[in-house]
Amino acid sequence: GENVEQHPSTLSVQEGDSAVIKCTYSDSASNYFPWYKQELGKRPQLIIDIRSNVGEKKDQRIAVTLNKTAKHFSLHITETQPEDSAVYFCAASNNGGNQFYFGTGTSLTVIP
Amino acid sequence: GAVVSQHPSWVICKSGTSVKIECRSLDFQATTMFWYRQFPKQSLMLMATSNEGSKATYEQGVEKDKFLINHASLTLSTLTVTSAHPEDSSFYICSAEPGGTNEKLFFGSGTQLSVL
């Protein structure tokens, strides 16, 4: 089955700096890669996603890149703000299996 | 966006009792729902995939007789933790997929289960 690895597990950045979180996956059949933000005690919220036919996607301060050959994808947050502090999860999924496999999570802290 | 409702949000029970958790898609039909378990400061661990009208698919290591899943309609899936024990204490969260075709996942608000 799919194995998703995520790094780093914790990340602290100064307000205004950029944050990058990286994930790798093992199943070449995976073709959908969402990123979720989870605040303490709350449900994960989808923040951005990318499909395998696209190499990069951007939504305001958030961007995701995908390298299918290397089987890795990354989340980029620019101009970080304290409210960006949360746990971020990457995930991988494929049409056939219809299952989502999550990375281990990254706890991001933005220092004011 | 789509809304997934999960109840209860918090439950405390005695060891040996059973607890039912409901997951409802409020404004869409979900042929597939997913159940996860999450320990503090850890990732979501997929327990099972719930398919409407058929048996759930359990992940390796998850006891199907322990965690009973029923997906009787296109808007409701239930997870019953049978004969709960303290080690079953955890945060359980469901998600649903509109259209069931690898679309975006929407999560319930989670259920914190504490077994005394």
pLDDT at A17 over 80: yes
What does the alpha-carbon distance between residue A19 and residue A83 come to, in Å, rounded to a whole number?
13
Residue A41 DSSP SS3: coil
Token pair 């996942």: residue: B105
Pure H helices in chain B: none
Q: What band does B28 get if pLDDT is binned at 50, 70 and 90?
A: confident
Instruction: Please state the φ and ψ torsions of residue B86, each to the nearest 5 degrees.
Output: -50, -35
Whether B44 sits inside 8 A of A31 (CB atoms) is no
A82 preceded by a cis bond (ω within 30 of 0): no
Q: What is the pLDDT of residue A95?
A: 60
**Which pLDDT value is given to residue A70?**
95
| pLDDT at residue number B115 | 94
- CA A33 to CA B43: how far, in whole Å? 16
Mean of per-residue pLDDT scores for chain B: 89
Of residues B52 and A56, the one with the higher pLDDT is A56
- Contact yes or no for A89 and B46 at CB 8 A: no
What does the pLDDT average to over A62-77?
Answer: 96
The pLDDT tens digits of the residues spanning A22-61 come to: 999 999 989 989 999 998 878 889 999 998 888 999 999 9
Q: For A34, which residue in chain B has the nearest alpha carbon?
A: B104
CB atoms within 10 A of CB B101: 10
Would strands A106-111 and A86-93 be described as parallel, antiparallel, or unpaired? Answer: antiparallel
Distance from CA of A42 to the nearest CA of B (A): 6
Most confident segment among A71-80, A98-107, B6-15, B101-110: A71-80
pLDDT confidence of residue B102: 55
Residue B102 has its nearest CB partner, among A46, A95, A101, at: A95
- Per-residue pLDDT for A97 more than 60? no
Determine the distance in angstroms separating the CA of B102 from the nearest CA of chain A, rounded to an integer: 6
